[in-house]
Amino acid sequence: MIIGVILALAVLGGTYAVTPGPISPTSVPKFVTYNLTYYPDLNATHPALAAFIASPTGDHLSGINVQLVKETGQRFGPTGTRFQLLQTNGTDSSGWVRFNQLWTSYPNSSLGLVYPDLKGSYFCCVSTAAAISPPYKNTGSATWHVLSLGDSSKETLSLVFTDLTGQPLSSADVLVWRVPNATSLPYPLEKGSPPDGWTLKYKIGTTDSSGFFINPLPYDSWAYLVHVRSVGLNSTFLFGSFYTTPSMSGPDTGLTFAAVLFVPTILPIVSLALAYDAISREKSEGTLDLLLSKPVSRLGVALGKILGVVGSLVVPLLIVVFGSAALVWGRAGTAPTGSLVFGLIGSAVYLALAYSLLFLAISSLSRSLGSALLSSVLFFLMFGFFWSLIAVLIANLAGPSGSVGWFQAITIMPLFSPTGVYQQLLSFFISGPVFGPNVSTEAPLQSPLPWIVAAATAWIIVPLFLFAWAMKYRVSQS
């Protein structure tokens, strides 16, 4: 009881602590830089550096200073970065700046670009230390950004498209395909396309004279395949991801943080504490004989145990979630999203039920109190902590990282853990970028909904059946 109150207070406190104050507009960067390594002469072996600079709303910016620097290994400047300034050039009227002849001017160097107006942000690096074997095939190359124009929950796409010699490719078509699910991701990505090919129905616009394109509409948090093509040249890349992550601004922050971190840790621990000895302690202390020799059905006793354990979890859970929502509202000044609150409650009730039934089944099948505790702790550690590692391990066995087999394994594996299923359910109610204060956490890749529903049902039905079976045919029966 005392531990439960402490844990509840910890969740409430944690949720409150990570919730930011009233929303202030997200600071919009002064400009966005697109960095590029290119080969001015395809038959020579000299890489060069270029940059394109635009305002976040898409205006080409001229006269912005860009510094060519060399890594020296010595401390340079107040930030302690080890650079030596070589040249400073400003962007031209089209927004481009180029640094050529690097091979001859700065041989055996590691060179990069610094943007003094962006607090010295740095683009690394091109090496002039070794010759690169020509000739090159002149391919397309797209450099792209995800832009959040003042609202971190809405992402938009911008890109610069050039050929390998660094020439901007104007009037290139930009096509976008929303990937239906993780298992549909092509491998390798650059050869991927929608099932019906890159037809014009996927076109969302064309690049301008600087090879620049900015998407006017924001995307939701999902994986898109972007294809840019000009005459004979094209480039395909993945924009966004299936990794759904909480918005860390606004009133949903704390709740999301609690949903992703606190709930899947604390709920299984509390259900373990409540359920592991529900039957095994009665067996070991002799109370079960008196209980089962009364005119009560064994399945009735099992149902009573389930209601007792789940009720002891769900009632405090509801108090904590609604309490957290109220705290968040008070701190952030606006109410958290209703679907998040109720999605969190639904997913957490599921988690409580799944783990309670699992530990009750273990309790009824164990020969002693000690073995019930040991088995429960092992299952908790495996599903609560080690499952993601096991999933990655199995995915790596299924195929190289990013391959279809890898994606299929990494998508399916969470369904074999109650915590994984909880995270999958939760991912329907959480949106936005993924990283929390001092913590980076990720929801798993989302499985197809029917799979999630099937797994969630199985995690209820199987332990329930085992528990009922053990109560009827095993406990004080053999």
Partner 1 sequence: MKVIETEGLTKVYKGGQKPAVDSLDLQIEGGELFGFLGPNGAGKSTTIRMLMTLLRASTGRAFVRGYDVQIKPLEAMQQVGFVPENPGFYHNLTGRQHLNYWAELYGLDRPALATRIKKLLERVGLFEARDKLAKDYSLGMKRRLALAGALLPDPQLLILDEPSLGLDPQGMAFVRSLLVELHQEGRTIFLSSHFLGEVERLCTKVGLLSKGKLIRVDTPRAISQSVSDASELEIETRGVGLTIVEIVRKIDGVSRVELDRTLLRISGALTEELIAEINRVLIVNGVSIISSRSQEHSLEDAFLSLTKGEV
Which residues here bind partner 1, judged by CB under 8 A?
A: 282, 285-297, 473, 476-478
Q: Which C-beta is closer to partner 1: that of 339 or that of 477?
A: 477
CA distance 36 to 51: 6
Structure token digits, residue 213? 């394109």
Closest to 354 measured CA to CA, from 290, 439, 264, 223: 264
* Shortest CB 359 distance to partner 1, Å: 20
* Shortest CB 363 distance to partner 1, Å: 16
**Bridge partner residues of 54 (DSSP):** 32, 60
* Shortest CB 282 distance to partner 1, Å: 7
* Shortest CB 288 distance to partner 1, Å: 7
Q: Which C-beta is closer to partner 1: that of 195 or that of 286?
A: 286
Q: Which C-beta is closer to partner 1: that of 75 or that of 474?
A: 474
The phi and psi torsions of 50 (rounded to 5 degrees) equal -140, 160
* Shortest CB 339 distance to partner 1, Å: 41
Closest to 471 measured CA to CA, from 352, 362, 356, 310: 362
Residues in the chain: 478
Q: Map tokens 């045919």 to a residue.
A: 473
* Shortest CB 306 distance to partner 1, Å: 17
* Shortest CB 360 distance to partner 1, Å: 18
* Shortest CB 471 distance to partner 1, Å: 12
How far from each other are the two terminal CA atoms of the chain, in whole angstroms? 35
CA distance 164 to 139: 5
* Shortest CB 300 distance to partner 1, Å: 9
Amino acid of residue 265: T
Structure token digits, residue 212? 């620049």
Q: Which C-beta is closer to partner 1: that of 203 or that of 472?
A: 472
Q: Which C-beta is closer to partner 1: that of 220 or that of 289?
A: 289
Q: Which C-beta is closer to partner 1: that of 204 or that of 292?
A: 292
Number of alpha carbons in the 13 Å side-chain half-sphere of residue 337: 18
All residues at 6 or more sequence positions from 431 whose CB lies less than 8 Å from its CB, including other chains:
153, 220, 221, 244, 246, 247
Burial of 411 (0-12, 13-18, 19+ CB in 10 A): buried
Give one word for 299, left, alpha or beta, with left for phi > 0 and alpha for psi -120 to 50. alpha
Q: Which C-beta is closer to partner 1: that of 57 or that of 477?
A: 477
The angle, 0 to 180 degrees and rounded to 10, between the axes of the packed helices 298-332 and 263-275 is: 150
Q: Which C-beta is closer to partner 1: that of 291 or that of 454?
A: 291
Give one word for 277, left, alpha or beta, with left for phi > 0 and alpha for psi -120 to 50. alpha
Q: Which C-beta is closer to partner 1: that of 288 or that of 454?
A: 288
Q: Which C-beta is closer to partner 1: that of 201 or that of 294?
A: 294
Amino acid of residue 225: L
* Shortest CB 294 distance to partner 1, Å: 4
All residues at 6 or more sequence positions from 120 whose CB lies less than 8 Å from its CB, including other chains:
77, 79, 81, 114
Number of neighbours of residue 204 by Cβ within 10 angstroms: 14
Residue 256 is given by DSSP the state H
